[in-house]
Amino acid sequence: MAVIIDGKAVSARLRREMTAEVAALKEAGLVPGLAVVLVGEDPASQVYVRNKMRACEELGIRSRDYRLPGDTTEEALLDLIGELNRREDVHGILVQLPLPKQIREEAVIAAIAPEKDVDAFHARNVGKIVQGSYDFLPCTPAGVLELIRSTGVSVTGKECVVIGRSNIVGKPMAMLMLHENATVTICHSRTQNLPQVTRRADILIVAIGKAKFVTADMVKPGAVVIDVGMDRDENGKLCGDVDFASVEPVAGYLTPVPGGVGPMTITMLMRNTITAAKLLGGRRG
């Protein structure tokens, strides 16, 4: 039976460390600040934003919440981002996705100052990740990496398979594993003989958004299996991209849904905000 990787416990440990770090920065006169912008009233986005603000409060980070109506123009949003870029008390800027159809996501990402881009979506930060000389990592891949480290399994020399090639998870995840000296394969909807490929994986990371897609016959015995999915099953119950019940007896380590990768994403956002504050605070100090 797999050892269950407790994302809540790993997240709680990291947050305790960050709380102490924020307190030390405040003693030195630097208060990390995060601005979160939400356009429209998407229910899921509202939950995400609320959780991010709660995390800021828990760690002692100053948070600013900007709620804009769903009919906000792209120009108005870019003006707000420009203002936040100039504010010295704002170290991190996060515009909650998805955006209404009249606003181009790529224009918004490009408008955020790279040194305040705590999502690590800006082209400059993506390039730094490819090079391995980054300031920030995308929050979900960074959280996955922490979960893998928590197992004590060395990544060096291991076969790693990432299912999914999104800009937010799949591609940066593959880069991070490459920097950790894994041999990496990226699979996607056009991959042939997928189970044959995934069964080679010592570390299998699944991020495709298909409920219970990965089954026991796709998993190498003893593998570390990380489930990034957040789906609903046929009964409307929250589940992941991995069929937990069938994979648990086969895997060596396995993340649950909920309680695995989810808690880590916001924790890594907090880490990026603290990093941005130290970089910007040092530069201006």
- Confidence at residue 8, expressed as pLDDT on a 0 to 100 scale: 97
Which has the closest alpha carbon to 277: 89, 141, 121, 101? 89
Catalytic residue among 52, 116, 212, 220: 52
User: Dmax of the chain from CA atoms?
Assistant: 57
- Confidence at residue 284, expressed as pLDDT on a 0 to 100 scale: 45
Contact 166, 187 (CB under 8 A): no
- Ordered domains of the chain (ranges, CATH): 29-114 (3.40.50.10860), 139-262 (3.40.50.720)
C-alpha–C-alpha distance, residues 30 and 117, integer Å: 19
Confidence band for 283, pLDDT divided at 50, 70 and 90: low
pLDDT in tens, 59-70: 999 999 999 999
Confidence band for 281, pLDDT divided at 50, 70 and 90: confident
Six-digit token string for 263 = 């808690």
Active site residue 52: yes
Catalytic residue among 116, 117, 119, 243: 119
Six-digit token string for 7 = 């994302």
Active site residue 101: no
Catalytic residue among 96, 158, 202, 212: 96
C-alpha–C-alpha distance, residues 93 and 72, integer Å: 18
Single pTM value for the model: 0.94
C-alpha–C-alpha distance, residues 56 and 62, integer Å: 7
C-alpha–C-alpha distance, residues 259 and 270, integer Å: 18
Active site residue 119: yes
In the chain, the percentage of residues whose pLDDT exceeds 90 is 95
Paired with 38 in beta bridges are 67
Across 244-271, average pLDDT: 97
Q: Is a pLDDT exceeding 60 seen at residue 285?
A: no
Report DSSP letters for 177-193, one per residue: HHHTT-EEEEE-TT-SS
Across 222-233, average pLDDT: 96
